[in-house]
Amino acid sequence: MPAEFDVPADGGPLRVVEWPGDGPLVIALHGITANALSWARVARALNRRVRFVAPDLRGRARSAQLPGPYGMAQHAADIMAIADFLGVRRVGLVGHSMGGFVATETAERHPERVSSVLLVDGGVPLAIPDGMDVDAALAHTVGPAMKRLAMTFPTLDAYIAFFEANPAMGRYWSAEMSRYIERDYVDGGSSCDVTAIRADAADMLKNPAPHAHHPILWAPRGMQDQPQGMYAAAQLDGMDATLVADVNHYTIVLGAGATRVAAKIAGMTGN
């Protein structure tokens, strides 16, 4: 089982999960309504080749109590706080979905502290119609994930059943998925702070940091296992982009894609 610890950050403690390893430090950054345990299957596939740590980003899970300001700049500061706490000067970053935008922002603000960046189905600007406001853009891009934030559930089992009903997760179910979802369940619903989600989305959708020189692994299928994923091949033209076959936006890290992600992380760090 991984270890957990708190890192002093602006406004209070930031919770971090660590899977120990013998290689360099890699910080893994989760999606907009996710948490640190979304990386558990990747960590298992890494098999200690790197020191792999993942925070519950500010406003989620066991970092839900942290106050604003929210947004990509604050996440970048939190990532540097983790590196400083662990006494590491240069770190590798891997970001899934919104976590990819956190990774690009951190690399842009602190290039001397970031040794490598890997994007996983995120970090490249999404196709949003001009003039669309933040709430509409969230519904357009991550609507199924946002839906649950306004819902209540009588039990943890009912919450898990909601995820099992999603064809992008239920047909690929695993113990790691159950633990990941359990971490998010608090007082009858999601732990996510909606104010944090909206502020992060505004940055992610309207003010993304440069991304073109970072490699990306991307999924052909989307958040409901539909055939259109977060990206089309044309959006990634000219990038170091690799399609991970037969995965969706979730299973690229929580399912069969985890081995590909782990192999890429290990290769980028020389392990």
Whole-number Å distance between alpha carbons of 205 and 7: 28
Q: Give the rounded percent of residues in the chain with a pLDDT score beyond 70.
A: 94
Q: What is the DSSP string of 164-223?
A: HTSTTTGGG--HHHHHHHHHHEETTEE---HHHHHHHHHHHHHSPPP-TTS-EEE-SS-T
Q: Give the residue among 192, 254, 187 at the shortest CA–CA distance from 58.
A: 192
Whole-number Å distance between alpha carbons of 100 and 118: 8
Q: Could you report the per-residue pLDDT of 73-98, keeping only the tens digit for each? A: 999 999 999 999 999 999 999 999 99
Residues 6 or more apart whose CB falls under 8 angstroms from that of 67 comprise 11, 12
Instruction: Say what the pLDDT of residue 44 is.
Output: 97
Whole-number Å distance between alpha carbons of 51 and 271: 11
Q: Is the dihedral of CA 149, 152, 153, 154 positive or negative?
A: positive
Instruction: Say what the pLDDT of residue 67 is.
Output: 97
The answer, yes or no, to whether residue 142 has pLDDT greater than 80, is: no
Inter-residue contact 212 to 255 (CB < 8 Å): no
Q: State both tokens at 140.
A: 């357009």
Instruction: Say what the pLDDT of residue 129 is.
Output: 67
Inter-residue contact 255 to 172 (CB < 8 Å): yes
Average pLDDT score, the chain: 93
Chain-centroid distance of CA 202 in Å reads 16
How many domains is the chain partitioned into structurally? 1
Neighbours of 195 (CB within 10 A): 12
Inter-residue contact 181 to 159 (CB < 8 Å): yes
Q: Model's pTM, two decimal places?
A: 0.95
Whole-number Å distance between alpha carbons of 239 and 245: 18
Inter-residue contact 53 to 269 (CB < 8 Å): no
Whole-number Å distance between alpha carbons of 220 and 244: 7
CATH number where 101 lies? 3.40.50.1820
Q: What is the DSSP string of 78-101?
A: HHHHHHHHTT-SSEEEEEETHHHH
Structural domain of 232: 3-268
Rg, Å, the chain Cα set: 17
Of 13-22, 75-84, 199-208, the least confident? 199-208
Of 57-61, 81-85, 135-139, the least confident? 135-139
Q: Give the residue among 82, 65, 66 at the shortest CA–CA distance from 29.
A: 82
